């Protein structure tokens, strides 16, 4: 039986012992990891923030400086009463402060909750309330948006939030990180099997779930990723996707690169106009992209004047990468393509750098660890023969055994013996590689951005004229999938336009990528044999 602590189920003792004996869990923590790297090579560059300097110019922090800054900020946060186990919602863009804040929290043993810059009051107020966050960390402004205004709304809705901390100057009514007290404090290192942070799930229900990751398990996934992606202290990783997302954080991502003693370069925008000059100037060796961006980069690379020859590896994942697009990557960018099929809950699969070219373009890789257990099953949880497409279940040394404070949901999302139900439909090739064939979960994968249908449906249902709503994916040539909302209006309601309904959803304060791309009015939804709405038939509905 698994040890179930109050907040999250963890691995049963016999599994924990096995993972330790195998050398997967080594008792390392993030705080100590940075301390060790800083002691070993204080003057090596850890983080380059191309626009983070006082005049908007390049800023580079060495390992020594990142370590000192994390200590100083940990002291300041401690002075504000933030302590071990406290939750802190962190919503920072790709700037050096992201790492300063996250490592300061790791040192304290407080848990960052990784929000994305695109989230708005609907998501942030929920994270703060559900996690009972004591603090919320924001930029003053980013991408033309004022996060201080958002913070004011969030504070009114989430009374546990005692501190809003602003990275940079112009904190307005709140406090700037730079103004926190700096008197040193002595902190003891958290236990390696303690939670390090809460990651967000892509979600398939009305409210996103929080994913509890430990130092031991996450650091193992970093070490495994580094080995498979060839990340060493010579590597320069360009962080293009939002830093808080699990892919750029850990596959092998910024944290993997810091673990290896390499250099992280933060990309302020994913466009080739920003990224290509940075690759040339900083001699970037590895980066990760979602498929729509990989398409744009591949296209742009064929006519760029920038020297991209330092790039060795391009990871592509987060959504299915089409075989045709995959074939174009290596010739256009002059690097090795590495497909990655991962999830914030744990399991990450990579094609190997030395896999045959056909395997790299036609599969989504295989698990990091020999101790990742994979089952492919039918609707009744019966194992299917190799080669048959079915539901992917997984269990292993860095896959969670349950979401944070969600016992009821956990009974559905995990089998009794602890396998996570990924919601992905996959098949296994003879070579042991996985091919993602589809999805059983009620989610839209909009170019790597995950949207829980139910969450958007709830926003639509809040409109007084809406009787019922169903949100499904429809094909999009660039994004792979986009969202389509099928809506039944109340018989007695004033007619509403699709554009007005979209504006209504946007006005509810949620991430822009969740606003339905298309709204279709209908009189009835197709039903299954037992009378439930058939999303499968809705998806197949002729484009109205």
> Smallest distance from the beta carbon of 361 to ligand J2J, in angstroms?
12
- Give min distance, CB of 324 to ligand J2J, in A: 15
DSSP 338-388: EEEEEETTEEEEE--TTS-HHHHHH---EES-TT-EEEEE-TTSPBPPTT-
State the binding string over 251-280 for ligand J2J (x if CB under 6 A, else -): x-----------------------------
Residue 193 near residue 216 (C-beta atoms within 8 A): yes
Of 88, 133, 436, 452, which lies in the binding site for ligand J2J, with binding defined by CB under 6 A? 436
Q: Which residue is nearest to ligand J2J (CB)?
A: 342
Compare residues 95 and 364 and give the one whose CB is closer to ligand J2J: 364
**C-alpha–C-alpha distance, residues 161 and 151, integer Å:** 10
State residue 23 phi and psi, 5-degree precision.
85, 10
Using CA atoms, how far apart are residues 322 and 334, in angstroms rounded to an integer?
A: 19
Q: Looking at beta carbons only, is 107 or 213 nearer to ligand J2J? A: 213
Q: Residues 240, 339, 229, CA angle at the centre, nearest 5°?
A: 75
Q: Which residue has the tokens 């094609």?
A: 351
Q: Per the omega criterion (within 30 degrees of 0), is the bond before 451 cis?
A: no
**Three-state DSSP state, 32:** helix
Binding mask 311-330 for ligand J2J (x = CB under 6 A): ------xxxx----------
369 binds ligand J2J (CB under 6 A): no
Looking at 263, 439, 446, 463, which residue binds ligand J2J (CB under 6 A)?
439
Q: Could you tell me the two tokens for 484?
A: 């389509």
Is the CB of 78 or the CB of 246 nearer to ligand J2J?
A: 246
The DSSP 8-state label assigned to residue 338 in this structure reads E
3-state secondary structure (DSSP) of residue 139 = strand
**Nearest residue (CB) to ligand J2J, 165 versus 511:** 511
CA distance 42 to 62: 6
Which one of 6-14, 143-151, 296-304, 342-350 is the stretch in contact with ligand J2J (CB under 6 A)?
Answer: 342-350
Stretch 166-205 residues interacting with ligand J2J (CB under 6 A): 202
Helix (H, G, I), strand (E, B) or coil at 196: strand
**Are β-strands 434-439 and 420-428 bridged in parallel, bridged antiparallel, or unpaired?**
antiparallel
Select 73 or 229, whichever has its Cβ closest to ligand J2J. Answer: 229
Residue window 228-247: x/- pattern of binding to ligand J2J, with contact defined by CB under 6 A: ------------------xx
Q: Check residue 442 for interaction with ligand J2J (CB under 6 A).
A: no
Looking at beta carbons only, is 155 or 289 nearer to ligand J2J?
289
Who's near 129: CB < 8 A, 6+ residues apart?
Answer: 157, 158, 160
Residues near ligand J2J (CB under 6 A): 202, 246-247, 250-251, 317-320, 339-344, 348, 364, 422, 424, 436, 439, 445, 450
């Amino acid at each position: 039986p698994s040890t179930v602590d109050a907040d999250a189920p963890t691995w049963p003792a016999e599994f924990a012992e096995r993972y330790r004996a195998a050398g997967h869990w080594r008792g390392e923590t993030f705080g100590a990891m940075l301390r060790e790297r800083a002691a070993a090579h204080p003057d090596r560059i850890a983080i380059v923030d191309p626009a983070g300097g006082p005049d908007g110019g390049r800023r580079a922090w060495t390992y020594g400086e990142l370590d000192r800054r994390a200590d100083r900020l940990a002291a300041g946060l401690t002075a504000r009463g933030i302590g071990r186990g406290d939750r802190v919602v962190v919503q920072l863009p790709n700037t050096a402060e992201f790492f300063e804040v996250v490592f300061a929290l790791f040192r304290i043993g407080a848990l960052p909750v990784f929000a994305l810059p695109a989230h708005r009051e609907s998501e942030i107020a929920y994270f703060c309330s559900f996690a009972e966050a004591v603090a919320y960390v924001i930029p003053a402004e980013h991408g033309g948006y004022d996060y201080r205004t958002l913070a004011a709304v969030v504070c009114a809705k989430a009374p546990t939030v005692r501190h809003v901390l602003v990275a940079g100057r112009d904190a307005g009514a709140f406090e700037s990180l730079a103004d926190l007290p700096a008197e040193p404090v002595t902190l003891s290192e958290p236990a390696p099997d303690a939670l390090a942070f809460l990651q967000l799930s892509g979600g398939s229900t009305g409210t996103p779930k929080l994913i509890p990751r430990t130092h031991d398990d996450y650091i193992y996934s970093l070490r495994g990723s580094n080995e498979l992606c060839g990340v060493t202290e010579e590597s320069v990783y360009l962080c293009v996707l939002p830093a808080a997302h699990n892919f750029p954080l850990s596959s092998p991502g910024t944290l993997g690169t810091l673990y290896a003693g390499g250099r992280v370069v933060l990309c302020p925008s994913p466009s080739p106009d920003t990224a290509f000059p940075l690759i040339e100037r900083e001699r970037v060796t590895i980066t990760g992209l979602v498929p729509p961006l990989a398409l744009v980069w591949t296209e742009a690379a064929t006519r760029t004047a920038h020297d991209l020859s330092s790039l060795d590896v391009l990871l592509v994942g987060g959504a299915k990468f089409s075989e045709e697009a995959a074939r174009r990557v290596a010739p256009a960018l002059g690097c090795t393509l590495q497909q990655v099929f991962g999830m914030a809950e744990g399991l990450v699969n990579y094609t190997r750098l030395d896999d045959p070219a056909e395997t790299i373009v036609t599969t989504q890789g295989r698990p990091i660890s020999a101790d990742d257990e994979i089952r492919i099953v039918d609707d009744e949880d019966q194992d299917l023969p190799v080669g048959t497409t079915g539901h992917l279940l997984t269990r292993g040394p860095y896959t969670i055994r349950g979401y944070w404070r969600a016992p009821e949901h956990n009974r559905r999302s995990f089998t009794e013996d602890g396998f996570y139900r990924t919601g992905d439909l996959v098949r296994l090739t003879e070579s042991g590689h996985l091919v993602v064939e589809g999805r059983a979960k009620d989610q839209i994968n909009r170019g790597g951005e995950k949207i829980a249908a139910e969450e958007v449906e709830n926003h639509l249902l809040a409109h007084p004229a809406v009787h019922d709503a169903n949100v499904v994916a429809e094909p999009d040539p660039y994004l792979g999938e986009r969202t389509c909302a099928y809506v039944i209006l109340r018989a007695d309601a004033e007619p509403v336009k699709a554009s007005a309904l979209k504006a209504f959803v946007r006005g509810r304060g949620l991430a822009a990528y969740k606003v339905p791309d298309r709204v279709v009015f209908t009189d009835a939804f197709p039903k299954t044999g037992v009378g439930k709405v058939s999303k499968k038939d809705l998806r197949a509905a002729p484009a109205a």
